[in-house]
């Protein structure tokens, strides 16, 4: 049975206070008002429509309805692995030490919002303009409080428990935590993991997204007898992490980081306290620049570089962890064509060769360069060159419904994968995910069952 190990069922309870704040989406809309950039306007119109479709998917559909949409596009019954995302401190830090003046960020965002409100109102794209106008009030209000995402976090939990109860053998969610919230829970975040995650619980695994502002070696994750990694390693709980230069990140100019960062000047992970005064990391790229990709890449490098994860796995070598996105489609396309700036997949392969429980997934592999052979290039130039051991830990994922941001239809997406990977598609979409999740499902065809012992 097809298993999608990387998808999302975010709904209006999450979207109305989080996704509409994505600076990249709003900046695209602003740039539409430039009458001189005719070609760029056409591209931005497409981006705006994609963003509208993306947000409308969340507002209009419940998680159960999203599952049915995916099932129709896949053309078969399937297993979904929806991943949570704890966005609690994406825009505001948890304490004054981490961000000395929260109002500075709020004022900056408000100015940007007001400027864009004026630009959006001048657009002829009435459906987009009206939609954004309705949402900007929420945007303005929601940047002022520390606990902006508290409700959305709880709603994600409720949504995923509901769909798990409705489809217990078809949906296996991953729980999300932010170690900086440790003091917010009685018993710390480890108590929340014990409450929600396990073979007999609503969530089968854990999702971490360190570029939201914390280190992979944060003490709550990394240190002590009851560390998150120690608990997951002991209880064989799988973890999925974002592992790409693209994606999302926090938007603060600076934040206090406990644990290590990747220090570009040395090429090594070092304590944030050694690199920055009082451990307060200061970023060159900030929300005022409006270049979302650069903001994200800087934070992904500092807080999520694969070398940081070598340190994690050196201490917890049996940790079962999925490095999602295999470096991302941009890095992978470069790597597949011998472009040495595509370094991220190389490190993930090294991790997989070194540690037996390290996996990766090929999620959000949209056709960025309009190249009909892009997946075939990856299959022939990367996948087929992997050792058999590493191949057994590569998995299929869609990143639904994020795909809509890249003008990618799920049906076309899986058709491209099936065509590119041929007989090996079953390996990445069924056999390897069953091993990662430790599901007891019947396998079709000739399968080496010794790998599941």
The pLDDT tens digits of the residues spanning 416-426 come to: 999 999 999 99
| Whether the predicted pLDDT of 20 surpasses 90 | no
Q: Is residue 115 part of a domain?
A: no
pLDDT band for position 14 (cuts 50, 70, 90): low
Mean pLDDT of the chain: 82
How far is Cα 211 from Cα 436, in angstroms, rounded to an integer?
Answer: 24
Q: Which residues of 14-50 are buried (b: 16+ CB within 10 A; e: fewer)?
A: bbbbbbbbbbbbbbbbbbbbeeeeeeebeebbebbeb
- Kindly tell me if the per-residue pLDDT of 121 is higher than 70: no
**In a domain? residue 413:** yes
pLDDT of amino acid 153: 84
pTM above 0.85, yes or no: no
Task: Encode pLDDT of 265-294 as tens digits.
Answer: 999 999 999 999 999 999 998 876 667 889
The pLDDT assigned to 292 comes to: 82
**146-165 pLDDT, tens digit each:** 344 456 788 899 999 999 99
Q: What percent of the chain has pLDDT over 70?
A: 73
State pLDDT tens for residues 125-136. Answer: 444 444 444 444
Tell me, yes or no, whether 48 lies in a domain: no
pLDDT confidence of residue 8? 94
pLDDT, residue 348, reads 98
Task: Determine the pLDDT at residue 300.
Answer: 97
Is residue 329 domain-resident? yes
Angle between helical axes of 410-421 and 374-381 (0-180°, round to 10) = 40
Whether 126 is in a domain gets the answer: no
Q: Which two tokens stand for residue 118?
A: 């004026």
Question: What is the domain-level CATH number for residue 261?
Answer: 3.20.20.140
Task: Sort 443 into a burial class: Cβ within 10 Å, 0-12 / 13-18 / 19+.
Answer: middle
pLDDT in tens, 356-414: 999 999 999 999 888 889 999 999 999 999 999 999 999 999 999 888 778 889 999 99
What pLDDT was estimated at residue 323?
98
How many folded domains does the chain comprise? 1
In this prediction, residue 332 has a pLDDT band, given cuts at 50, 70 and 90, of: very high
Which pLDDT does position 417 carry in this prediction?
97
Residue 128 lies in a domain: no
pLDDT in tens, 63-111: 999 999 999 999 999 999 999 998 888 877 776 444 444 444 445 545 5
pLDDT score, position 26: 44
186 pLDDT above the threshold of 70: yes
Backbone angles phi, psi at 87, to 5 degrees: -100, 20
CB atoms closer than 10 angstroms to residue 386:
15
3-state per-residue secondary structure call for the chain: CEEEEEECCCCHHHHCCCHHHCHHHHHHHHHCCCCCCHHHHHHHHHHHHHHHHHHHHHHHCCHHHHHHHHHHHHCCCEEEEEECCCCCCCCCCCCCCCCCCHHHHHHHHHHHHHHHHHHHHCCCCHHHHHHHHHHHHHHHHHCCCCCCCHHHHHHHHHHHHHHHHHCCCCECCEEECCHHHHHHCCCHHHHHHHHHECCCCCECEEEECHHHCCCCCCHHHHCCCCCHHHHHHHCCCCEEEEEECCCCCCCCCEEECCCEEEECCCCEEEEHHHHCHHHEEECCCCHHHCCHHHHHHHHHHHHHCHHHHHHHHHHCCCCCEEEEEEECHHHHHHHHCCCCCCCHHHHHHHHHHHCCCEEEEECCCCCCCCCCCHHHHHHHHCHHHCCHHHHCCEEECCCECHHHHHCCCHHHHHHHHHHHHHHHHHHHHHHHHHHHHCCCCCCCCCCCHHHHC
The domain containing residue 296 runs over which residues? 2-11+62-102+145-452
User: Is 75 contained in some domain?
Assistant: yes
């Amino acid at each position: 049975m097809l298993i999608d190990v990387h998808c999302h069922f975010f709904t209006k309870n999450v979207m109305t206070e989080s996704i509409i704040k994505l600076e990249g989406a709003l900046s695209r809309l602003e740039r539409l008002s430039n009458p001189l950039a005719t070609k760029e306007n056409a591209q931005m119109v497409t981006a705006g429509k994609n963003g509208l479709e993306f947000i409308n998917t969340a507002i209009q559909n419940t998680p159960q309805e999203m599952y049915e949409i995916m099932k129709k596009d896949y053309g078969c019954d399937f297993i979904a692995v929806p991943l949570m995302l704890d966005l609690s401190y994406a825009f505001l830090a948890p304490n004054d030490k981490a961000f000395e003046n929260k109002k500075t960020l709020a004022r900056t965002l408000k100015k940007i919002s007001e400027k864009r409100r004026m630009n959006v109102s001048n657009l002829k794209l009435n459906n987009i303009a009206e939609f954004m106008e309705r949402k900007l009030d929420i945007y303005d209000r929601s940047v002022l409080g520390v606990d902006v995402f508290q409700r959305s976090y709880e709603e994600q939990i409720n949504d995923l428990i509901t769909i798990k109860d409705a489809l217990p053998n078809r949906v296996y969610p991953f729980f999300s935590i932010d170690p900086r919230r440790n003091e917010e829970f009685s018993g710390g975040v480890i108590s929340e993991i014990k409450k929600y995650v396990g073979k007999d619980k609503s969530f089968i695994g854990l999702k971490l997204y360190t570029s939201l502002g914390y280190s992979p070696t944060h003490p709550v994750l990394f240190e002590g007898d009851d560390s998150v990694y120690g608990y997951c390693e002991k209880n064989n709980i799988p973890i999925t992490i974002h592992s790409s230069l693209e994606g999302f990140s926090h938007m603060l100019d600076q934040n206090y980081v406990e644990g290590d960062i990747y220090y570009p000047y040395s090429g090594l992970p070092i304590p944030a306290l050694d690199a920055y005064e009082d451990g307060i990391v200061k970023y060159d790229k900030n929300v005022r620049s409006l270049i979302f990709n650069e903001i994200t890449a800087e934070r992904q490098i500092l807080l999520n570089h694969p070398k940081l994860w070598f340190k994690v796995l050196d201490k917890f070598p049996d940790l079962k962890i999925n490095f999602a996105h295999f470096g991302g489609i941009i890095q992978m396309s470069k790597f597949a064509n011998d472009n040495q700036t595509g370094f991220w997949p190389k490190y993930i392969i090294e991790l997989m060769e070194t540690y037996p429980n390290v996996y990766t997934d090929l999620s959000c592999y949209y056709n960025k360069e309009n190249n009909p052979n892009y997946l075939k290039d990856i299959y022939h130039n990367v996948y087929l060159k992997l050792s058999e051991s590493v191949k057994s830990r590569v998995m299929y994922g869609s990143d639904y419904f994020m795909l809509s941001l890249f003008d990618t239809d799920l049906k076309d997406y899986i058709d491209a994968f099936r065509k590119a990977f041929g007989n090996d598609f079953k390996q990445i979409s069924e056999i390897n995910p069953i091993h990662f999740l430790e599901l007891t499902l019947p396998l079709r065809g000739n399968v080496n069952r010794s790998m599941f012992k």
